[in-house]
Structure 1
Amino acid sequence: MNTYIIGYDLDKPGQDYTHLNEAIKEIGTWWHCLDSTWLVRSTLSATTIRDRLMKIMDNNDELLVAKLSNEAAWFGFNKNCTDWLHQNIK
């Protein structure tokens, strides 16, 4: 299982993030402590995750899915966010 960072920018004003957020949650165990950034633990590949999410995005939106290494540093998150990071970035 890998941990992926997913970042997106929905370019249409007033865009509803609900469907995209629900699709990301279905990919695996997730962390969402930044507005348009998610971390997800999943058995899926980055390409498969991208392809799933692209289906519910507009053509002018932007999406990044990248596998994380076992090194990370962070600042300012609450205990729940920090605990998830410690447990899932390996």
Structure 2
Amino acid sequence: MISHITIDRRDATYDHHAEQAALPVTVHHRDGRTERTRLVMAPGQVELYGRWTGVLSEGGGRPLRRRTARHLRRRAVAPSTVNRRAPEDGP
């Protein structure tokens, strides 16, 4: 059974062909074992987690409210919309 997961102090990578980011993590088991692996995320997930960490770091240690978390999930950009340009105004 897993106790918790920590982010390793190594660089994340991005595979442009697969359109996935990989963040090195360590899985800690309740029996004391650990294993290194990767957290693989789609572009929309990367943006969502980036927003969450930004909110948490700006919060000065205050708990993240449910409303804020729901709001961030709703505003997450779907992978198909990443890098899509907005239509230009005018003639």
TM-score normalised by length of structure 2: 0.23
Q: Which structure: larger Rg?
A: 2
